[in-house]
Structure 1
């Protein structure tokens, strides 16, 4: 912000910017001492806020509107992305998880059925006479055992 001060006549004579010949040649007040006194009280925020006055109002409005449009675009995009993630996550929990569990149960049942069939085939083969070697006098040839499915 720019501060406006009323300068009285008596302060002008002691100013380093006075038009007197004496004040031009006097070295009692230099320009650097005046600047250092003014900058001691200013903060970084004050200096940044003073830059606002340099930029014209139309340019400030354009920059502000573009920035707000970009912020709204990012906000809407984040909201849409969040909704998509929510839908995918809840769908996975409500549909895919029970489906995966039922497929796993079905696979266990199929494995148990196969194991039961193998046990039944093993017990049948133990009772069959082909498991024992033929007697030397018989002409029965022994067939090789082939696992089921071949």
Structure 2
């Protein structure tokens, strides 16, 4: 807690030279000035004006160091954002130019392999059907006699 104490000047010669000295009682005038201050914003003064008036409270050297630090931080954020943006651009364009055609060719290759497997399965099925003991007659020119009675007539 802060204790406020009124200090009276003791040297009568220096009281005229002091810019802070007043002819009336300092205790009485300070009470009047405090009571006359309104805590609400007046019509001429807005919040921005009050905040901008706080600049006078901070010493110039401190303001300069704060301003320097804020500007350095802003430039660092800007530069790092630009670098990250460039990296993202390179990665996405590389993926589109290299990765997409590669993925499409791999998909086409997988389709071709699946078709080859299907054709092999069809050929193996056809060979099993034509093997001895099959329900279908042998192809013309073969030496096997057809089996009778397996397939009813009319099919």
TM-score by length of 1: 0.65
Post-superposition, which runs of at least 4 consecutive aligned residues in structure 1 deviate over 6 A? none
Please give the root-mean-square deviation of Cα atoms over the aligned residues, in Å.
2.7
CA deviation after TM superposition for structure 1 residue 31, in Å: 3.1
Name the structure with the higher helix share: 1
Question: Are 1:31 and 2:33 counterparts?
Answer: yes
Deviations along 1:83-118, one digit per CA (max 9) or x if unpaired, are 011000000100000000000000000000010001
CA deviation after TM superposition for structure 1 residue 45, in Å: 1.2
Q: Distance in 2 between matches of 1:90 and 1:46?
A: 49
Matches within 5 A, 1:1-150: 19-20=23-24, 30-32=32-34, 34-36=36-38, 40=42, 41-131=44-134
Aligned length: 111
Q: Distance in 2 between matches of 1:53 and 1:120?
A: 94
Deviations along 1:70-95, one digit per CA (max 9) or x if unpaired, are 00000011101100110000001000
Structure 2: where are the runs of 5+ without partners?
A: 1-21, 136-155
TM-score by length of 2: 0.63
